[in-house]
């Protein structure tokens, strides 16, 4: 289907009222032209989660990530500033850093040893001519914002601040005191699906009683999934929890957070911060994914969990065991989703593929489709 017809189908889809909402037109999952438009209009301009603020506590702490087409490094410089910069050497475009960790003093290109301070300023370039001025060379800088303890980066120097568009979501999360949560574990993977399918899957509770019948459903049943009204910046649903039951661990830790009501303790807040940061927040931990497209049929997934202080064991070995148990629980959930959402992207290319009517418990999908239409069609 030509791109202009895809955009028209998306526009018509987004204009349907809540009570008549339909699933996403399937061709927008499979079209390379549609992906290129997304890279231009979404990934070159929006805000993307790169981790939690406590992952960048010390000078030199860094993480690399590709946002759209751009390799980016996020780090804490020696003056304590949190920065996001291009991860491409200004000489011959080699990649400067890989993965995450701590780089104590400077960034050195592995190709020709051009060397940069942690603020991105070039300080060393061997065998250059006398008319070359290192002071004129600096790694391009990107916008950084911290919201609820998560670090976001935008490639667009004119991107409007993130927090104002998430004010309603901030109200729902206020009692959890998310800025106090600490990193428990991280993982980086590539999943076989389209990034939009994964956003939609994570943020709706309609599939729990089928896809997760033996894992999530006994602790967080579909009947307690309440898909709420979001905003232009996010979708929202609240998932009731059965007291005393857990799907991701055998142990149960107490949470000493005086702001939490009994309802808060028995509720999970799930949301997509558009375009592609999805999260589940409960009293003791978070579970979240930050997504980047890897072609039309794959998605790069940075994911992990964080904990409220005191809700995990203090002993390092016991904490490591708790983290491993929690990750194994989430791995099991992810493994239940992967074949389903992988099948969706394959089926989206079929001649008979058509969108069906959405359940009220899939209102989050409706909000996401409206976001896509607003950004891509105006």
For residue range 315-356, list pLDDT tens digits in order. 999 999 999 999 999 999 999 999 999 999 999 999 999 999
* Confidence band of 50 (pLDDT split at 50, 70, 90): very high
Helix (H) or strand (E) holding 286: strand 285-293
Residues 234 and 321 in one domain: yes
Examine the pLDDT at 250 and tell me if it is beyond 80: no
Residues 363 and 300 in one domain: yes
Residues 9 and 115 in one domain: no
Residues 106 and 212 in one domain: no
CATH number of the domain within which 81 lies: 2.102.10.10
Examine the pLDDT at 252 and tell me if it is beyond 90: no
Residue 290: how many CB atoms within 10 A of its CB? 23
Q: Which residues, including other chains, have CB under 8 Å from residue 234's CB and lie 6 or more apart?
A: 165, 166, 168, 169, 271, 272, 273, 274, 367
CATH number of the domain within which 267 lies: 3.90.380.10
**Cα–Cα distance, 33 to 1 (Å, whole number):** 10
pLDDT tens per residue across span 149-180: 999 999 999 999 999 999 999 999 999 999 99
Q: Which of 97, 132, 154 is the last residue of a domain?
A: 154
Examine the pLDDT at 246 and tell me if it is beyond 80: no
The predicted model gives 23-49 an average pLDDT of 97
Q: What is the pLDDT of residue 378?
A: 80
Q: For the whole prediction, is pTM greater than 0.75?
A: yes
Residues 32 and 52 in one domain: no
The predicted model gives 290-307 an average pLDDT of 98
Q: What is the pLDDT of residue 36?
A: 98
Residues 92 and 27 in one domain: no
Please report the sign of the dihedral spanned by the C-alpha atoms of residue 63, residue 64, residue 65, residue 71.
positive
Query: Which residue intervals of the chain are DSSP H helices?
Result: 3-15, 27-30, 32-38, 167-173, 195-202, 208-211, 262-265, 316-347, 363-377
The predicted model gives 362-376 an average pLDDT of 97
- Mean pLDDT, all residues of the chain: 95
For 223, the token pair is 């009947």
Residues 241 and 265 in one domain: yes
Q: Which of 102, 124, 154 is the last residue of a domain?
A: 154
Cβ atoms of 234 and 271 closer than 8 Å: yes
Residues 221 and 361 in one domain: yes
Percent of the chain scoring above 90 in pLDDT: 94
Residues 119 and 15 in one domain: no
Host domain of residue 100: 47-154
Q: Which of 154, 175, 207 is the last residue of a domain?
A: 154
Residues 19 and 101 in one domain: no
Residues 181 and 192 in one domain: yes
Q: What is the pLDDT of residue 108?
A: 97
Residues 300 and 190 in one domain: yes
Number of domains in the chain: 2
Examine the pLDDT at 307 and tell me if it is beyond 60: yes
Q: What is the pLDDT of residue 365?
A: 97
* Confidence band of 1 (pLDDT split at 50, 70, 90): confident
Q: What is the pLDDT of residue 245?
A: 76
């Amino acid at each position: 289907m030509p791109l202009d017809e895809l955009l028209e189908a998306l526009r018509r889809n987004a204009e349907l009222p809540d009570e008549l909402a339909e699933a996403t037109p399937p061709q927008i999952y499979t079209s390379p032209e549609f992906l290129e438009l997304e890279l231009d209009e979404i990934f070159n301009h929006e805000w993307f989660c790169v981790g939690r603020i406590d992952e960048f506590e010390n000078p030199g702490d860094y993480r690399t990530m590709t946002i759209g087409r751009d390799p980016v490094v996020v780090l804490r410089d020696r003056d304590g500033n949190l920065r996001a910069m291009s991860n491409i050497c200004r000489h011959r475009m080699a990649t400067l850093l890989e993965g995450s960790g701590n780089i104590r003093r400077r960034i050195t290109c592995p190709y020709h040893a051009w060397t940069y301070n942690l603020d991105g300023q070039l300080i060393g370039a061997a065998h250059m001519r006398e008319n070359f001025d290192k002071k004129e060379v600096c790694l391009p800088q990107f916008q950084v914002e911290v919201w609820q303890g998560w670090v976001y980066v935008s490639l667009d120097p004119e991107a409007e601040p993130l927090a104002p568009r998430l004010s309603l979501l901030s109200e729902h999360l206020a009692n959890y005191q998310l800025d106090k949560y600490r990193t428990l574990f991280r993982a980086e993977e590539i999943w076989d699906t389209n990034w939009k399918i994964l956003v939609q899957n994570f943020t709706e509770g309609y599939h729990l009683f089928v896809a997760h019948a033996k894992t999530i459903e006994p602790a967080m049943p579909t009947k307690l999934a309440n898909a709420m009204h979001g905003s232009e910046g996010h979708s929202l649903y609240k998932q009731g929890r059965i007291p005393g039951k857990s799907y991701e661990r055998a142990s149960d830790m107490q949470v000493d957070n005086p702001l939490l009501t009994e309802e808060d303790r028995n509720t999970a807040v799930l949301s997509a911060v558009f375009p592609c940061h999805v999260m589940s927040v409960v009293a003791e931990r978070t579970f979240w994914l930050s997504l980047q497209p890897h072609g039309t049929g794959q998605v790069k997934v940075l994911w992990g969990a964080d904990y409220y202080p005191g809700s995990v064991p203090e002993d390092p070995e016991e904490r490591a065991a708790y983290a491993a148990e929690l990750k194994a629980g989430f791995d099991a959930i992810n493994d239940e989703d992967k074949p389903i959402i992988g099948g969706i992207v394959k089926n989206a290319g079929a001649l008979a593929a058509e969108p069906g009517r959405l359940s009220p418990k899939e209102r989050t999908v409706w909000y996401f489709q409206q976001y896509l239409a607003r950004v891509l069609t105006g």
